[in-house]
Amino acid sequence: DIQMTQSPSSVSASVGDRVTITCRASQDISRWLVWYQQKPGKAPKLLIYAASSLQSGVPSRFSGSGSGTDFTLTISSLQPEDFATYYCQQANSFPPWTFGQGTKVEIK
């Protein structure tokens, strides 16, 4: 199975900050990388698929990049509604689909 590792596990940031989260796959997954956002008590929400394609309705301050084994999610200017936990997921070799352990974006 492909292992996904996110860093950092948590990040403290202020409104307006630029935030970057990284995700590393244990083997080459091309661009088959997905990002989800999850708020407390809610289901995850699809943000980005195919490493850099923004899901419909997702604000343009979110962007994704990378290929192969290394990927990043960037929030260009953090907004109050962006405080949440973010998960990466590989969609290259499944089943099983595998997720990173999550990165919690907290208010500084």
Partner 1 sequence: EVQLVESGGGVIQPGGSLRLSCAASGFTVSSNYMSWVRQAPGKGLEWVSVIYSGGGSTYYADSVKGRFTISRDTSKNTLYLQMNSLRAEDTAVYYCAANSPFDPWGQGTLVTVSS
Interface with partner 1 (CB under 8 A): 34, 36, 38, 42-46, 49, 55, 87, 89, 91, 94-102
Q: For partner 1, which is the closer residue by CB, 21 or 89?
A: 89
Work out how close the CB of 63 gets to partner 1 at its nearest, in angstroms, rounded to a whole number.
17
Q: For partner 1, which is the closer residue by CB, 11 or 91?
A: 91
Work out how close the CB of 94 gets to partner 1 at its nearest, in angstroms, rounded to a whole number.
7
Q: Is 18 exposed, middle or buried (0-12, 13-18, 19+ CB in 10 A)?
A: exposed
Work out how close the CB of 17 gets to partner 1 at its nearest, in angstroms, rounded to a whole number.
24
Q: Is 96 exposed, middle or buried (0-12, 13-18, 19+ CB in 10 A)?
A: exposed
Work out how close the CB of 81 gets to partner 1 at its nearest, in angstroms, rounded to a whole number.
18
Q: For partner 1, which is the closer residue by CB, 9 or 77?
A: 9
Q: Is 86 exposed, middle or buried (0-12, 13-18, 19+ CB in 10 A)?
A: buried
Pairing of strands 45-49, 33-38: antiparallel
